[in-house]
Structure 1
């Protein structure tokens, strides 16, 4: 689920960048009023600005939701990693066996 949200988040970021770069700035409106040919576009003279602005706002809202979702996923992973549920005690080291002083080991000569 986290991978899916991350992929959607990246796609939304790229789409937002493209849409923001395609939109005209405030200074472009003055040039269009002196015969820039803005009325001959697909969306009309002001239709593209409204459409692109609304689409950018929708993508921004979705980007915000995916950002919050990824933050919740990261918080859950962090709390799971440092929570008391996952704390394990280290096993006690086992001391090597020492042969008794009265017994001889099979490898030592008599």
Structure 2
């Protein structure tokens, strides 16, 4: 199910990018008012701006919903992993036992050292 939502999410993102690139800017409407032949277009004299804007808004809403779906699946996966893992208290106790098993290194201090001793 998560894979299907992810595929739909990616396709919606690509569709939104394509629709935004297809839409005309605000300055393009000024040229159409001087006889740009808008009455012979597929979308009528109002142009495709209204239609493409609504389709973009619908696709954005569906993209928003798929984002919530993917977030839900990510949350479920994260909670199932943390429940199946090793509890943090066990890790801390294990580390404390290991520290006590480590050998203690003896440091030899000689008077010929370059480090000042403060005496």
Which interval holds the TM-score relative to the shorter structure? 0.7 to 0.9
Measure the CA separation in 1 of the matches of 2:65 and 2:56: 14
**1:1-110 correspondence to structure 2 within 5 Å:** 1-83=1-83, 86-88=84-86
Contact conserved, 2:38 with 2:47, CA < 8 A, in 1?
no
Aligned length: 88
Which 5+ residue runs of structure 1 have no aligned equivalent? 91-110
**CA deviation after TM superposition for structure 1 residue 56, in Å:** 0.6
Shift of 1:87: 3.2
Deviating beyond 2 angstroms after TM superposition, the runs of 4 or more aligned structure 1 residues are 87-90
The CA RMSD measured in Å over matched residues stands at: 1.7
Aligned to 1:72, the other structure's residue is in SS state helix
Q: TM-score, normalised by structure 2?
A: 0.68
1:26, distance to aligned residue in structure 2 (A): 0.7
